[in-house]
């Protein structure tokens, strides 16, 4: 698939525009290829843009596993993307490499209605664990700016509050997240960040989360289904929906609480999911799990370049398991009836 010859947005590394870290890194990489006798002439813009890991629909293959028969975790997908587990990386080394590149990580959070009560724990725990020592810019969408708590942020970290309209349906709040993310990238993040993560607010960081999570397109395996047969995944099963996935297809069930990657790739995810959500809405269809259903459809046919293990999305009510050695990020226990505006 080729990009339009007249794109509305030009995505290039932010540091490339400021003539800092990433440019030096890219030039060094090109030089190394030349020294190794590898021609870089063929690495055209078209080739780079078509390097996405797209899989044809209807392809038949075995479901990948996350834990082997011997009980050991599996650290690579069948399309050779890393699955990030504790013990598969050196955090000191990889953080040091990325810190030299002068990057900014944008992080979007949605806290509408009574969900503002989770902001303090989210932000305080993030400041202790999330990309510590990196430039992080939180973009908080809320209908109650006056309820945003004052949290001391570390050096190079900032918070921008963006007021949005309220909603009397939690499903509607969920459905519009992709649209808000898409527009924010177009209006700001394309010039302000190198990577972006969109995270659920009703969560808490319990352990370090750093540069090992960075990549072109990042998905996280849902903690409730990482050892479930794909025919039992809660995919959207109605063919009338744009999020439809046949029973015989599927890799992993990805959690919608974490979406990440380069600004360009996350924009593509958000735009595609928003368009599919709009088509469903026009046909009076709402996917089983709203944007999470559409995200799983996208990731099935546009493979993530890196997959985060359930360490990066746990649930506080779940007991620890042998394979999950550390819990880095987890959804907190809550009374849904008390925080959601509708059942």
Looking at residue 335, its pLDDT comes to 75
Query: Could you tell me which of 326, 293, 312 has the C-alpha nearest to residue 222?
Result: 312
Looking at residue 2, its pLDDT comes to 32
Determine whether the annotation assigns residue 265 to a binding site: no
| pLDDT tens figures, 93-106 | 999 999 999 999 99
Residue 340 near residue 170, CB atoms below 8 Å = yes
- Mapped onto helix, strand or coil, the DSSP state of residue 241 is coil
Determine whether the annotation assigns residue 200 to a binding site: yes
Binned at pLDDT 50, 70 and 90, residue 67 comes out as: very high
**pLDDT reading at 334 higher than 90:** no
Looking at residue 39, its pLDDT comes to 37
Looking at residue 290, its pLDDT comes to 87
**pLDDT reading at 314 higher than 50:** yes
Please report which helix (H) or strand (E) contains residue 301, including its range.
helix 290-301
| pLDDT tens figures, 135-159 | 999 999 999 999 999 999 999 999 9
Query: Strands of 135-142's sheet, edge to edge?
Result: 83-84, 306-308, 217-220, 258-262, 195-199, 104-111, 135-142, 157-163
- Mapped onto helix, strand or coil, the DSSP state of residue 282 is helix
Domain boundaries, the chain: 84-229+250-263+304-337
Mean pLDDT along residues 280-284: 95
DSSP 6: S
Determine whether the annotation assigns residue 202 to a binding site: yes
Query: Could you tell me which of 176, 182, 124, 175 has the C-alpha nearest to residue 150?
Result: 124
**pLDDT reading at 254 higher than 60:** yes
Select 84-229+250-263+304-337's CATH number: 3.90.550.10, 3.30.830.10, 3.40.50.620, 3.30.300.130.
Answer: 3.90.550.10
- As beta bridge partners, residue 296 has none
**pLDDT reading at 127 higher than 50:** yes
Contacts of 220 (CB under 8 A, 6+ apart): 254, 255, 257, 258, 307, 308, 309, 310, 312, 313
Looking at residue 163, its pLDDT comes to 96
Binned at pLDDT 50, 70 and 90, residue 257 comes out as: very high
Determine whether the annotation assigns residue 201 to a binding site: yes
**pLDDT reading at 43 higher than 70:** no
Looking at residue 49, its pLDDT comes to 41
Q: Helices 290-301 and 263-282: crossing angle, nearest 10°?
A: 120
**From 14-23, 114-123, 329-338, the region with the lowest mean pLDDT:** 14-23
Looking at residue 340, its pLDDT comes to 65
Question: How confident is the prediction for the chain on average, in pLDDT?
Answer: 87
| pLDDT tens figures, 231-246 | 999 999 999 999 999 9
Separation between Cα atoms, residue 3 and residue 1, nearest integer Å: 7
Binned at pLDDT 50, 70 and 90, residue 33 comes out as: very low
- As beta bridge partners, residue 162 has 141
If phi > 0 it is left, if psi is from -120 to 50 it is alpha, else beta; for residue 253 that is: beta
**pLDDT reading at 339 higher than 80:** no
- Cα of first residue to Cα of last residue in the chain, in angstroms, is 41
**pLDDT reading at 13 higher than 50:** yes
Both tokens assigned to 48: 């780079």
**pLDDT reading at 317 higher than 70:** yes
Looking at residue 227, its pLDDT comes to 94
| pLDDT tens figures, 155-191 | 999 999 999 988 766 566 666 889 999 999 999 999 9
Our CA angle for 307, 229, 290, nearest 5°, is 65
Determine whether the annotation assigns residue 49 to a binding site: no
Q: Which residues are catalytic?
A: 292
């Amino acid at each position: 698939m080729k990009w339009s010859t007249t794109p509305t947005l030009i995505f290039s590394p932010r540091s490339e525009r400021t003539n800092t870290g990433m440019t030096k890194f890219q030039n060094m990489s090109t030089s190394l290829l030349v020294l190794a006798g590898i021609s870089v002439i063929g690495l055209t813009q078209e080739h780079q843009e078509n390097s996405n890991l797209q899989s044809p629909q209807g392809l038949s293959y075995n479901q990948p596993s996350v834990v082997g028969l011997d009980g050991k975790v599996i650290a690579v997908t069948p399309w050779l993307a890393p699955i990030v587990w504790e013990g598969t990386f050196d955090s000191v080394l990889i953080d040091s490499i990325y810190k030299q590149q002068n990057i900014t990580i944008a992080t979007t959070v949605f806290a509408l209605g009574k969900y503002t009560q989770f902001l303090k724990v989210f932000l305080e725990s993030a400041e202790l664990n999330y990309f510590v020592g990196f430039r992080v810019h939180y973009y908080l969408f809320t209908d109650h700016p006056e309820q945003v708590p004052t949290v001391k942020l570390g050096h190079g970290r900032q918070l921008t509050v963006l007021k949005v309209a309220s909603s009397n349906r939690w499903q509607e709040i969920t459905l519009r997240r992709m649209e808000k993310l898409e527009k924010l990238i177009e209006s700001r993040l394309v010039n302000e960040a190198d990577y972006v993560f969109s995270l659920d607010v009703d969560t808490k960081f319990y352990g370090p989360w750093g540069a090992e999570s960075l990549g072109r397109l990042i998905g996280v395996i849902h903690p409730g289904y990482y050892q479930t047969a794909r025919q039992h995944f809660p995919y959207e099963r109605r063919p009338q929906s744009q999020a439809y996935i046949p029973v015989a297809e599927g890799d992993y069930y990805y959690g919608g609480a974490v979406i990440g990657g380069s600004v360009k790739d996350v924009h593509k995810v958000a735009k595609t999911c928003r368009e599919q959500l709009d088509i469903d809405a026009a046909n009076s269809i709402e996917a089983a799990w709203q944007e999470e259903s559409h995200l799983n459809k996208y990731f099935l046919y546009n493979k993530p370049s890196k997959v985060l293990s359930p360490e990066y999305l746990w649930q506080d009510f779940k007991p620890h398991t042998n394979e999950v050695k550390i819990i880095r990020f987890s959804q907190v226990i809550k009374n849904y009836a008390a925080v959601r505006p509708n059942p």
